[in-house]
Amino acid sequence: MIRVALNYSTLFFFSLLFTCSQIFAQQNLVPIHGSIFEKKQNQSEVPVAGAKIFFSKKIIAFTDKEGQFTLSVPDTATRIIISYDRMGSDTIALTDKQKDLKIVYPYLQKIKDVTISQKRFATEISLLTMQKTERIGAKELLKAACCNLSESFETTPSVDVAFTDAVTGYKQIQLLGLSGPYTLITRENIPEVRGLASITGLTFTPGQWIESMQLSKGAGSVVNGYEGLAGQINIEMRKPMEGDKQYFNLYQSAQGRSEANAYLAFEPKEKLYGNLFLHGKSQWLKVDQNHDHFIDQPMGNTWIASNRWMWFGQKGRELQVGAKYVYNNNWGGSMHTDTDENPKLSPYWTMNLKTNRLDTWMKIGKLFEHKPWKSMGLQLAFSSHKQDMAFGRKQYVANEQSFYTNYIFQTIVKNTNHILKLGATVNYMNRNEQVNGMPYVNHEMVPGIYGEYAHTFSKKVNAVLGMRADYHNLYGLYTTPRFHIRYAPLDNMTFRASVGKSYRTATIFSENLGLFSTNRTVLIMPSQKDGMYQLQNESAINSGVNGTYKFKLNYRPGTFSVDYYYTHFLNQVVADWEEERFIKFYNSTAPSFAHSVQVQLDYEPIRKMDIRLAYRYHDVQMSFEGVRKQKPLNAKHRAFINASYTTRSKWSFDYTLQWTGSKRIPSTLNNPENLRFENMSPSFFTMNAHINKVLGHGFEVYGGVENILNYMQDIAIIDAQSPFGTYFDGSLVWGPTMGRTMYAGMRWKR
């Protein structure tokens, strides 16, 4: 029956690939107001009626008899175009979307281009979007080597990055003090890093492929689903019709990590665009910087390839089709381990990780030419993920197939002050896991419908109300209400508030890979017989407020922002590490919550120098078998400084200093005295530096140092000398497990 269901879903997916037509990329739209005038001989200003204003072939407006217009454009838009018979076409740069535009044409003078330039920070916060959204651009990503998505947040204070354990080398992110799986990670608004890939999937997107990222905290739009408790990170890949046509990158670290990236964009015929992404990584040098006789970074190779095609047809039709394939083969563990050594037969603690993953997707859409405010689209995605992992004498084998489709219809009610989105979603997942020979088979089918209404009361106030209804085959009806409101008392100041509910199904093994780096006994304490892993789902309510103020001091731009978010869990799947010999999984309805506060200042004190200061406070409390405690291995306090400077001779310098406060460590009191950790970890500083030089003709060279202070957790693995003994544990990681790393590389683009 499983095969039949899978075959039908696969057949359905590929049928849609060839019979449906285009997606409308969902973006946050902001209104631009303005007026157009023409000077007469007597210097009087006369309104221009019938002028065409557009951002793209899909987003168009015309001036009325008073010369006024309103055009809703994506919040990332940087320009609009004005077309008028007497004057031709003008390009107008958007520097402040909150101010009304007033454009006056000189008497009988044709202007080709009018461009207003403004400094842009590498990371920007829009004042106009309903959610506070940090746009992390390519400039920010190039401040570091940025080898994959898990390493792309070193200069972003909103996201914390930490190692999952001391042997696999995987990193996970935290947003609002909550672990990565609580954040919805999407590729161009299609969910991608979830399920079996909830941790490892962060390494499947090379940073050099990314054009930009949008990071938003708290409850998101119901259009994107019922998940995303802590927020959403949306990844925008390089577009074939924009930017570089060819791009190559080579990277080499002093610790034996070699990487290469290639990107090609092409246009074989008019309105048809394609691009090809290639990535290869090899870790070929054994490194043991903390001298525990375990390899700090697993050896092995990773190969990733992706291809995408985009077609723009007549009458507002668009089509996008793409695929990505990942092959990963890593091995590690004891320094005495050899390549592809069989962990079951080896006298040493050996680790082997093999992954094969295929992602395919399609976006189909239609914009109504004579009704540019009306559109519909369809998102389709299919993935197949297979992995075979061995850790010492333990084995974790799993495979997963998933299918996702999302239909979106957008229109207005009377005028563009009332925007309505309606849609339907289907999520399907089939997962088979074996942990030390014990099978776990799970199926998930979740159809749902949603509606979202956006109302613009004035230029200062707008709000969005959304509601979803999804039916889960195991957990029944999900109702997901979400509300956002924005208030801008001044042109340079915006306050926002949000509240919403979220649901999530925990994938307990793939989300807690650290458990395989221990000899703890895994206990699952059932709470729902027919639930996944016999556990209930997770649900929580997130609410938050934030304020953003943009200013100029000594003619230099700056941004000051403050966030506060509160998450209250209604039901939580707890991974309990509180007893030394066990890891327990169970449901808890006891009080669990997270308070998160962040204060951030971005400023340009002198020309071409940007400074970013931030402080974060996370109070995350969980209930462990009825006893409320601070979440383990999670710092309450963090502080952050980033400084970047670019010279006229095209040298770029970037420096980051982070202070991480102490973290609670699960108890080790029942271990022998020499195998115990303190109850709290020490606080520590880490520093990174990066240098880039533009040589000309598209060539750049770069280099840098990570963890300059060479700060490492002294003992990352408990009882590393007896890996098959009772006390072996590599899961209690509170600090860096890699020491100082130097690297160099080069880029070429055109």
Boundaries of every domain in the chain:
29-105, 123-236, 237-749
Distances (CA, A) of 473 to 385, 448, 470: 22, 11, 10
Bridge partners of residue 149, in order along the sequence? none
Q: Dihedrals φ, ψ of 462, to 5°?
A: -150, 160
pLDDT of residue 25: 38
Written as six digits, the tokens of 91 are 């390009």
The yes/no answer on whether domain 237-749 falls in CATH 2.40.170.20 is yes
d(CA 704, CA 653): 10
Written as six digits, the tokens of 14 are 């590929």
Distances (CA, A) of 4 to 15, 27, 405, 657: 16, 37, 19, 54
Contact 594, 555 (CB under 8 A): no
In tens, the pLDDT along 621-659 reads 999 998 999 999 999 999 999 999 999 999 999 999 999
d(CA 734, CA 712): 10
d(CA 60, CA 375): 13
pLDDT of residue 146: 66
d(CA 31, CA 129): 10
Written as six digits, the tokens of 362 are 């399609």
d(CA 228, CA 221): 9
Bridge partners of residue 438, in order along the sequence? 435
pLDDT of residue 26: 43
Of the candidates 340, 371, 515, 376, the one whose C-alpha atom is nearest the C-alpha of residue 435 is 515
CA angle 158, 161, 165 (to 5 degrees): 155
Q: pLDDT under 50 in the chain at which residues?
A: 1-26, 109-112, 114-117
pLDDT of residue 510: 95
| Identical fold between 29-105 and 237-749 | no
pLDDT of residue 107: 60
* Cα 495 versus chain centre, distance: 23
DSSP-assigned letter for residue 245: S
d(CA 212, CA 234): 9
pLDDT of residue 71: 85
d(CA 295, CA 210): 30
Distances (CA, A) of 90 to 71, 93, 200, 611: 16, 10, 47, 35
Per CATH, which fold does 29-105 belong to? Immunoglobulin-like (2.60.40)
* Cα 41 versus chain centre, distance: 55
d(CA 45, CA 728): 81
CA angle 231, 234, 235 (to 5 degrees): 150
pLDDT of residue 119: 52
Sign of the Cα pseudo-torsion (710, 715, 720, 721, in order)? positive
CA angle 179, 180, 181 (to 5 degrees): 100
Three-state DSSP class for 407?
strand
The one-letter amino acid code at 73 reads V
Written as six digits, the tokens of 721 are 């000398």
The one-letter amino acid code at 592 reads S
Query: How many CB atoms are closer than 10 A to CB 661?
Result: 18
CA angle 199, 203, 207 (to 5 degrees): 135
Q: What is the DSSP string of 65-124?
A: TTSEEEEEEETT--EEEEEETTTEEEEEE-S-TTSPEEEEEPTT---S-B-------SEE
d(CA 232, CA 204): 18
Of the candidates 355, 398, 657, 702, the one whose C-alpha atom is nearest the C-alpha of residue 533 is 398
For the segment(s) 123-236, the CATH number from 2.60.40.1120, 3.20.190.10, 3.30.565.10, 2.170.130.10 is 2.170.130.10
d(CA 160, CA 179): 9
Cβ burial of 736 (10 Å; 0-12, 13-18, 19+) is: buried
